[in-house]
Amino acid sequence: MKKILVVFGTRPEAIKMSPLVKKFEEYPDVFETRVCVTAQHREMLDQVLDFFEVEPHYDLDLMKPGQNLYGLTAAIILGLKDVLEDFNPDFVCVHGDTSTTMSTSIASFYNQSKVCHIEAGLRTNDKWSPFPEEINRQVTGRIADYHFAPTTTSRDNLLKEGIKDDTILVTGNTVIDALLESVKKIEENPSDIVVNLDKLIGDEEVILVTGHRRENHGAGFERICEALKEIAVSKPDHKIIYPVHLNPKVQEPVNRILSDVKNILLIDPLAYQDFIWLMNRSKLIITDSGGVQEEAPSLGKPVLVMRDTTERPEAVDAGTVVLVGTDKELIVSETLDLLNNQDRFNRMSELHNPYGDGKACERVAKFIMNV
């Protein structure tokens, strides 16, 4: 029996790790599986856990108002000490690039548990972009014993850094596993929010916007909002829907610049399943989210990425996303060109998703069975 501890703390991690938890649980004779959440995002995390029916065995409940990276990192390492000593796992599975991931990998190393890094090998090689995620994943990569890379590009990044080939497996991204499962559940049982949004939208074309990245705070968000305002004026027959992140540094410029624009709908952050429905209902998506870059191509949605760099170059190379940064003119021009140029829109929406086929979790579980 192999003892598996799965640790995550944010909504994106929960989305990508919940299908893996369920996959491990399909093999009770092979794995003893436990889940620990740090609750880096409390309310948004709990929504995802409820949707995927995952109940944590350990909940560190570390979210505090005004929490900074110093306090969060220290609290996660100290909080995991008792969990690791209680369960003493053989393998600890972490995901991606969060402070939870980096801190858990350090704590697991101290406990001499093997670290399994899901979504390994993404790189911009610019330690300030995205901050602190780029260094979080690089630190985790140095500690990890096994690396589950979503693409061959990610695998090649790890090989360049001296990671041994036999510790790397290309799996696809677990977010596609989550997405394909979720679309079915949503169609069978839409929430009240989905029903109400559907009535509100009617026959209008939808541009979905998400934005929260720390590196865009300040002047970047000012330019993003001004761009969205110009797009709304240019396309009065389209509805821009923006679930606004709870961070005050996002809320302030968004509400100040966009709240009075007639065809821009500012709404509260959506539960995962409702957001998936809205992605599927949208014509195109403007975002700074890494997860959306991976999910949207499976739904046939072109994506404009409001970042100057991306650790997901496969999507850029495949043509499923276009980098526009926070350049107002570029955001406006690329959006309007996609909406006005049907041939370009069709080409972009029909491209193959480079992030997998929905079987990543099975590949991870089978690999760990045999090590």
Which position among 133, 134, 288, 295 bears the catalytic label?
Answer: 133
Contact call for residues 16 and 175 (beta carbons, < 8 A): yes
Residue 245's Cβ-count burial label (10 Å; 0-12, 13-18, 19+) is middle
Grouping H, G, I as helix, E, B as strand and the rest as coil, residue 55 is coil
95 carries an active-site annotation: no
Which position among 34, 95, 123, 212 bears the catalytic label?
Answer: 212
Which residues, other chains included, contact 210 with Cβ-Cβ below 8 Å and sequence gap of 6+? 242, 243, 245, 285, 286, 287, 288, 289, 292
Which position among 97, 295, 311, 334 bears the catalytic label?
Answer: 97
H runs (alpha helix) in the chain: 11-25, 42-52, 69-87, 99-111, 133-143, 152-160, 174-188, 192-201, 219-234, 248-258, 272-281, 290-295, 313-318, 328-340, 342-349, 360-369
55 carries an active-site annotation: no
Which position among 13, 119, 274, 311 bears the catalytic label?
Answer: 119
214 carries an active-site annotation: yes
Angle between helix 11-25 and 42-52 (nearest 10) = 30
Q: Rounded distance, CA 98 to CA 17, Å?
A: 13
Q: Which residues are catalytic?
A: 97, 119, 133, 212, 214, 245
